[in-house]
């Protein structure tokens, strides 16, 4: 369903987009379940014979069922959104452009980082010196008149 439109193009970009948002949906549903557990009516186990979910060890209650329903609905709508032609074309273009990028070597990246750190330190020293000089000047002007 995710790769119906141009299935051989942009697979990596589409999969990365899918799994990143799927992780966010899962985290949101986990948090939702925790918030729903505050209500005592939603916290009680549905069945006394099966009070916990065997694989996860979570309490089988209404808050778990609601969180799972939100997860399934969110996943369904996310898959439908990603399978739209306009979105798929955009992700295909992103992957095509990322293949054109020339990534710096480790030496180039470390040299650039050193230049940035040195520039920040010099600018910080200049601003600190300027602040000290202007602060002293304004103390003389304001308190000696």
Tokens of 16: 């990365």
Q: What is the spatial distance between Cα 105 and Cα 111, in angstroms, rounded to a whole number? A: 10
- How far CA 117 is from CA of 105, 109, 113, 128, in Å, comes to 18, 12, 6, 16
pLDDT above 70: residue 24: yes
Alpha-carbon dihedral sign for residues 110, 114, 117, 119: negative
Please check whether residue 50 is in contact with residue 59, taking contact to mean a CB–CB distance below 8 angstroms. Answer: no
pTM above 0.85, yes or no: no
- What confidence tier does 114 reach under pLDDT thresholds 50, 70, 90? very high
Instruction: Give residue 135's pLDDT.
Output: 94
pLDDT above 60: residue 43: yes
Please check whether residue 25 is in contact with residue 78, taking contact to mean a CB–CB distance below 8 angstroms. Answer: yes
Instruction: Give residue 52's pLDDT.
Output: 65
């Amino acid at each position: 369903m995710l790769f119906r439109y141009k299935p051989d193009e942009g697979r990596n970009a589409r999969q990365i987009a899918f799994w990143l948002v799927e992780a966010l949906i899962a985290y949101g549903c986990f948090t939702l379940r925790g918030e729903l557990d505050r209500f005592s009516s939603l916290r009680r186990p549905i069945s006394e014979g099966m009070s916990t979910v065997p694989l996860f060890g979570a309490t089988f209650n209404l808050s778990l069922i609601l969180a799972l329903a939100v997860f399934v609905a969110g996943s369904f709508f996310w898959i439908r959104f990603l399978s739209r032609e306009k979105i798929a074309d955009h992700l295909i273009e992103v992957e095509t452009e990322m293949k054109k990028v020339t990534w710096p070597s480790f030496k180039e990246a470390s040299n650039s980082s050193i230049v940035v750190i040195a520039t920040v330190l010099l600018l910080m020293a200049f601003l600190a010196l300027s602040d000290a000089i202007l602060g002293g000047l304004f103390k003389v002007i304001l308190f000696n008149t």
